[in-house]
Amino acid sequence: MSFAQQEKANQRAWAERDPFMEARLDDRHGPKTWVLKSDLAAHNAFRPEWWTQIEARVHRWGRALNSSQAFALNLFGPALDPMVARAAWRGFSERRLPADAKVAVRFEFDYSMDAGERYSGVQLGERRQRTQIDVLFEVDSPSERGALLIEVKYTEHEFGTCRGGTKGDPGCDDLVRLMRDSQRCWLTRHEGRKYWSLMTQESSSFRFPQMAASQCPFRDDLYQLMRNRVLADSMREVAHLDWADTAVCIHPENSDLRALFKGDAANRGFGDAFAALSQRKVQSLEPVSIVEALSASSPALGNWRRYMMERYRI
């Protein structure tokens, strides 16, 4: 049984232990459903009022108990309290937090709609399916401004792949030619996306080996990491940020995806493969450490900690 299948059963078993939660399940999806009734989706959050943070962009199955979107909201939700976010900052980042810094968290962040004019200069050529950030931390102080973009994975088995690579487009076959002519990229030709033209700018954090035989490194597992890094670079430049970091946070029991990202003694993970292409590494955040950092910041989060441990087994 895959981890995704296990979590459907685990989430259903968790709901069954609470008569109120079990009564909120939508029996139209079968007697052992793991999906909440559509009008009760907010109960997928530890605090239903947190649901307003993602309500405008809830995924199709955001009301499913095994939703990655709900997992991200529940994991980082306590940081909606700015004091908690500040106190727990070391659980999110290695960067030193200025003493006078304010820390704010956003969920399902869309750079073109959610920040007024702050990131209005970001131009990725994304007419649809814009790169959205699962969890965004913004640090603001007179001395330093920064952003931390976090990709959260629950039961997913991959980070997403490029449609051009999936189609076997010949433009993906020669890295050097792609670097010289971004129009060779399938996404540029068919959708107007500017990833390659942005990655080859001097201000970009990407650095590519000059190997004529290399294929596009983003045709498979590195695709989503690339998009997040391109967005981070663009946000840093247009908003004049001092730094913009990217991170991934994978459920501790999702061993297949964690092995792909982290690698092992025999194989390099695609986290290291990405680091070879960028001056900015992708941080790896541990859900267990995040829960401990947040719960340590406030005695009032004891119930939330128990909820996370019982529901998500972390």
Under a CB-based contact definition with an 8 Å cutoff, are residues 163 and 189 in contact? no
252: Cα within 13 Å, side-chain hemisphere: 12
List the one residue out of 145, 244, 149 whose CA is nearest residue 203: 244
- pLDDT in the model for residue 211: 58
Under a CB-based contact definition with an 8 Å cutoff, are residues 281 and 246 in contact? no
* One pLDDT digit (tens) per residue for the chain, 314 residues: 899 999 999 999 999 999 999 999 998 877 789 999 999 999 999 999 999 999 999 999 999 999 999 999 999 999 999 999 999 999 999 999 999 999 999 999 999 888 778 898 899 999 888 999 999 999 999 999 999 999 999 999 998 889 988 888 898 998 888 899 999 999 999 999 999 999 999 999 999 876 556 889 999 889 999 999 999 999 999 999 999 999 999 999 999 999 999 987 667 888 999 999 998 999 999 999 999 999 999 999 999 999 999 999 99
- pLDDT in the model for residue 87: 96
CA distance 288 to 75: 10
This prediction's pTM = 0.95
Under a CB-based contact definition with an 8 Å cutoff, are residues 171 and 178 in contact? yes
CA dihedral 167, 168, 169, 171 (to 10 degrees): 140
For the chain, which residues make up each domain, given as ranges? 3-160+221-312
- pLDDT in the model for residue 115: 75
- pLDDT in the model for residue 32: 83
Q: Which two tokens stand for residue 9?
A: 């059963």
Neighbours of 262 (CB within 10 A): 16
- pLDDT in the model for residue 190: 93
- pLDDT in the model for residue 98: 95
- pLDDT in the model for residue 212: 53
Helix (H, G, I), strand (E, B) or coil at 148: strand
Q: Which two tokens stand for residue 206?
A: 């990407």
